[in-house]
Structure 1
Amino acid sequence: MKKLIYITIIFLMSSCSNEFLDLYPETSLNESNFYKSDEEFISLVNGSYIPLRNLNKTVMWDVSEVKSDNMDLQPSNTNIEQSRNENFLMSSSSIVHKSLWDNAYKGIYNCNKTLNAIEGSDYTWNNEFLKDRSLGEVYFLRALYYFELGRQFGGVPLVLTEINSQDAVNIKRSPIQDVYQQVVSDLTLAIDHLSKANDVHENGRASLTAAQGLLGRVYLTQKDFSKAESILNTVIKSGKHGLLSNYADVFNPSKKDYYETLFSVQFSESAAELANNFIFFNAPYTSKGEVTGRPNVAIQVNIAIKPTQNLINSFNENDLRFTTSIGKWTGSDEKGGTADYFYCAKYKGPQTAILGWSGDNFPILRYSDILLMYAEVLNELNRTGEAINYVKMVRDRAGLTENLVGLSKVDLGLLIEKERRLEFCFENHRWFDLVRTGRALEVMKALGKDIKQEQLLAPIPGDQVLINNLEQNPGY
């Protein structure tokens, strides 16, 4: 029988606890159980978060940072998939894009299952605010999964209910406009529910401002600047978030920031399924344990990546973000000599676990992103003078205090692009920023990349084209 890949997954769930991270492990629950308490429904909600971990452990790096002008492959890297992605030689057999597709649809499947269970149940919640929080979280997550799919592949199949395998093969790709319309609809519902649930919010979960901020990003992507201006201004005026005085604190896993960070993927050193291994494929491949602090854990040399020299050169010597973002290690090279190696240092927090498990949360939406998106929107609306103030907030924190008064709309637009690159390097924004602003071809060709217009979209995985008769994107 023909089946979409996301129809055949094993549903993953979590057990109950007072801490969100403990509610978020990859453990299973017998699906024959009926949900008879607030806690059981909340556990069902937690399963909708799980695929975000797999998406952001390696996949999103490959399709955003490695593809962009931010990262190169280290000399030890023998990963053919990463090399093809970096050099725009992707095909429908790409394992990276198949993984993205599969994990996103696993998340969507979990969301649909959860919505069906909550909205189709006659159970009376002991705390109705928890019900609103749960519904808001799931609508937010489904929107996020579809937004990532849309930005990568364009139009994709819209699956909004629990369906069987026979129904799945009849669902074809919807136009990208319909995908974004559904994302907006889900985020609107998320905002409605989460606005009633502020008193029961828990750090690490989707929040009202996270839903509003993501909606602003969606509107910006659609170039609906007026709507983006309105919703992003709502986040700014809420007073719930601000910039930390020290940029490095955003990425310190011992502090777990929830003030500047509106939403992040949660990781923990406490167990393998909860941890990330970012530092182990970012550390210089000859550094052994000198960078990672774990000499007993091998660096993943076959997928090792590094910052581009172009990115390194883009930082002003006074930029306080540089040492947090990019580390330098001097040591043995592959020929027995000595060399300087630069690496992504944002996810190099203190590690206490015996094994190679890291607990750095991965930021999806930060307040500095809200400020720079808002500045971009104001500039597009010909309110350049106002926009400068929001760019200045981000630059001041970075120690860059030059006077920006008098910049033209074009010049400010390019400065915002640069500030976003430096502020969010290694946070999986760069490629999407270049595509959104129409600058991807120009920037990548200037670096010698042989990129074509149709390669701004990724190939639909070949198994989906073959088994489900989905239309392939042009050029693949």
Structure 2
Amino acid sequence: MKKLIIYTLLLLGFSSCNKFLDVKPDDQVYEEEVFSNERGFTKALTGVYRAMASNGLYGRSLKYGVMDLMVGYWNVQADDIVSNDFKNFRYNNGTARGQIDAIWTGLYNAVHQTNIIISYLPNIEGKPNYDIIAGEAYGLRGYLHMEILKIFGPVISQEGINAIAIPYYLTPTHKPEKYKTAKEVLDLIEADLQKAAELLKEDPIIKIGRTGNQNNPNVGDYSALLDRRGIRMNYYAAKGLLARKSLLAGDSKVAYDRAMEVINELKETEAIRFVTFDDIYDDHKDLRFTPENLFAVYNNLSYFNFSNDFVKGNGHSVAYENNLDKIYESGTGSPYDLRFVWGIDGISEEYFVKFFSPENESIPDLVNHASHELQLMNLPELYFIASEVKIEDNLEEAVSLLQDFRAARGIYDDIPNSSKAEVQQALIDEVRREYIGEGFLFSFYKRKFLPIPVTGKIVQPSLAIYKFPIPLSEDLYNPKP
């Protein structure tokens, strides 16, 4: 019988003595063997998460390494040609173009892996953890396509929702799929995320929180599916992503309702919550504010990336003076902002504090898990979605939502709120402060087609800036209409 081979992606460099990372995908395994039991499906899902955590995706490029270069967060060295190309939107120059092509390929490869998993789901239908496995796979497929749409798709506010966007893959085919409109893509994302939310409606995260472990050490084998649900696709991730999708589609009322549903549910369960002073002052300082992550992936290489990219003299430094100082130390900012005190303040002496990662973690009790989490969606985004919508029809509620969020950051000063324009600017300021290093701001600017403030100038919005080029190989074998 012919055996098809599944390749799990980018496995080198990941190791841990922690149980929730012990499920390691093999370099090369036969599909029939992998998908014969729950353990095989878990390995395959682990392969997708690890691919997402690679430097070519969320480990670096889709965070500070590419996306944040274009929104004025970093100063880079003069001889760093590729970083300067991105800072100046020269997408077609050599290595920059190569990194963009790698983002496209990496995200679609991850989609392909999820589709292989989905195609074999009937093998475990009715098994105890079927709903979790299936929910993760469908949720990942919707999430990954939404990321591709955000980066490579049209500026919907300018080009319309019926503009040609990207292909959407529903099967593990190697044949190119035809390009779909943004509306068609968003409808398919909606279907995948709705299915994920339904399958995950009894997700353990609801009862045990994002870092809990539902495995019984005295009964049965350990399952990574039941441990640290916050670094896997989970119920709250699927529900939150539906709100993000609705805002991207222009369905503002639906986006508001969905965001508030998750906000209110989390107030009850506290499965995901705002960071507290105790989290920051603890021996394992949580400078990445991980209790707020609805969805994240785990990257064991965080220390190496930190030391290569942020330690003084190694690449990136925060472009603070004449740019970010205007939002942290004036206007709607505050020197008491936790993000400033624990992430920005003091950077000129050594490094960008937020991404600090300890070097020696060979002793399990000393591992700072928070320093390895890569945020993919967090609780503040839901407040920003709801507030943005309410700016148009209920300014008082919009301000209240922003003030609730600001209080969680240690800011109690009122924002200017006499007009929509003032509240809109306060929202933009909060988003800029919140997502330094997270790769979020560029897509926020793109969706709203905003100018980009960088050191010493304002970059005016354009389609050329906000749309990454499709890889040449894709254009050759699957030309865009």
Aligned CA distance change for structure 1 residues 278 and 175 (closer, same or farther; 3 Å): farther
Alpha-carbon displacement from aligned partner over 1:141-188 (angstroms, at most 9, x marks no partner): 111211111011111111110113xx23xx232222222221111111
Q: Which amino acid aligns with 1:108?
A: V
Q: Paired residue for 1:244?
A: 275
Tell me if the contact between 2:298 and 2:373 (Cα under 8 Å) persists in the aligned partners: yes
2:374 is the counterpart of 1:362: yes
Task: Select which of 414, 424, 431 maps to 1:420.
Answer: 431
Aligned CA distance change for structure 1 residues 52 and 385 (closer, same or farther; 3 Å): same
2:111 is the counterpart of 1:108: yes
Q: Which amino acid aligns with 1:40?
A: G
TM-score by length of 2: 0.78
Tell me if the contact between 1:265 and 1:362 (Cα under 8 Å) persists in the aligned partners: yes
Alpha-carbon displacement from aligned partner over 1:183-232 (angstroms, at most 9, x marks no partner): 11111111010113337653222211111111111211222111111111
2:299 is the counterpart of 1:267: yes
Identity between Structure 1 and Structure 2 (%): 20
Q: How many pairs are equivalent?
A: 421
Give the whole-Å Cα distance in 1 for the aligned partners of 2:345 and 2:351.
Answer: 5
Give the whole-Å Cα distance in 1 for the aligned partners of 2:282 and 2:447.
Answer: 26
Tell me if the contact between 1:143 and 1:186 (Cα under 8 Å) persists in the aligned partners: yes
Q: Paired residue for 1:377?
A: 389
2:311 is the counterpart of 1:283: yes
Task: Select which of 336, 350, 354 maps to 1:318.
Answer: 336
Task: Select which of 388, 400, 406 maps to 1:389.
Answer: 400
* Shift, 1:347, TM fit: 1.0
* Shift, 1:16, TM fit: 13
* Shift, 1:321, TM fit: 1.8
Q: Which amino acid aligns with 1:389?
A: S
Q: Paired residue for 2:182?
A: 176
Alpha-carbon displacement from aligned partner over 1:242-288 (angstroms, at most 9, x marks no partner): 212239749997769663221112123xxx5x876134202221xxx
Unpaired runs of 5+ in structure 1?
1-6, 286-298, 330-339, 472-476
Structure having the higher helix fraction is: 2
Tell me if the contact between 1:307 and 1:343 (Cα under 8 Å) persists in the aligned partners: no
Give the whole-Å Cα distance in 1 for the aligned partners of 2:475 and 2:284.
Answer: 41
Give the whole-Å Cα distance in 1 for the aligned partners of 2:451 and 2:278.
Answer: 28
* Shift, 1:371, TM fit: 1.7
Q: Paired residue for 1:460?
A: 470
Aligned CA distance change for structure 1 residues 177 and 281 (closer, same or farther; 3 Å): same
Matching of residues 23-34 of structure 1 within 5 Å: 23=23, 27-33=27-33
Give the whole-Å Cα distance in 2 for the aligned partners of 1:361 and 1:69.
Answer: 24
Task: Select which of 201, 214, 232 maps to 1:195.
Answer: 201
Give the whole-Å Cα distance in 2 for the aligned partners of 1:114 and 1:459.
Answer: 29
Q: Say which SS state the counterpart of residue 166 (structure 2) adopts.
A: coil
Tell me if the contact between 1:247 and 1:321 (Cα under 8 Å) persists in the aligned partners: no
Aligned CA distance change for structure 1 residues 374 and 90 (closer, same or farther; 3 Å): same
Unpaired runs of 5+ in structure 2?
154-164, 208-213, 215-225, 330-334, 363-367
Give the whole-Å Cα distance in 2 for the aligned partners of 1:378 and 1:276.
Answer: 42
Give the whole-Å Cα distance in 2 for the aligned partners of 1:250 and 1:460.
Answer: 45
Matching of residues 294-309 of structure 1 within 5 Å: 299=314, 301=315, 304-309=316-321
* Shift, 1:445, TM fit: 10
C-alpha RMSD of the superposition: 3.3
Q: Say which SS state the counterpart of residue 404 (structure 2) adopts.
A: helix
Give the whole-Å Cα distance in 2 for the aligned partners of 1:214 and 1:109.
Answer: 20
Tell me if the contact between 1:279 and 1:347 (Cα under 8 Å) persists in the aligned partners: no
* Shift, 1:468, TM fit: 3.1
Matching of residues 23-172 of structure 1 within 5 Å: 23=23, 27-33=27-33, 35-54=35-54, 55-60=57-62, 61-75=64-78, 78-91=79-92, 94-119=97-122, 121=123, 123-127=124-128, 130-154=129-153, 155-164=165-174, 167-168=175-176, 171-172=177-178
Alpha-carbon displacement from aligned partner over 1:85-140 (angstroms, at most 9, x marks no partner): 11011128601211110110111010000000113x3x45441xx11111111111
Task: Select which of 260, 278, 281 maps to 1:233.
Answer: 260
Aligned CA distance change for structure 1 residues 448 and 383 (closer, same or farther; 3 Å): closer
Q: Say which SS state the counterpart of residue 191 (structure 1) adopts.
A: helix
Alpha-carbon displacement from aligned partner over 1:359-416 (angstroms, at most 9, x marks no partner): 5211111212222222112223x11111222211221233321134853222111101
TM-score by length of 1: 0.79
Q: Paired residue for 1:205?
A: 232
Tell me if the contact between 1:252 and 1:349 (Cα under 8 Å) persists in the aligned partners: no
Give the whole-Å Cα distance in 1 for the aligned partners of 2:450 and 2:133.
Answer: 39
* Shift, 1:59, TM fit: 1.2
Alpha-carbon displacement from aligned partner over 1:3-45 (angstroms, at most 9, x marks no partner): xxxx998334989999332225674434352533222222222
Q: Paired residue for 1:3?
A: none
Q: Which amino acid aligns with 1:161?
A: T
* Shift, 1:319, TM fit: 2.4
Tell me if the contact between 2:399 and 2:417 (Cα under 8 Å) persists in the aligned partners: no
Matching of residues 213-228 of structure 1 within 5 Å: 213-228=240-255
Q: Say which SS state the counterpart of residue 56 (structure 1) adopts.
A: coil
Give the whole-Å Cα distance in 2 for the aligned partners of 1:28 and 1:17.
Answer: 22
Q: Say which SS state the counterpart of residue 401 (structure 1) adopts.
A: coil
Aligned CA distance change for structure 1 residues 146 and 448 (closer, same or farther; 3 Å): same
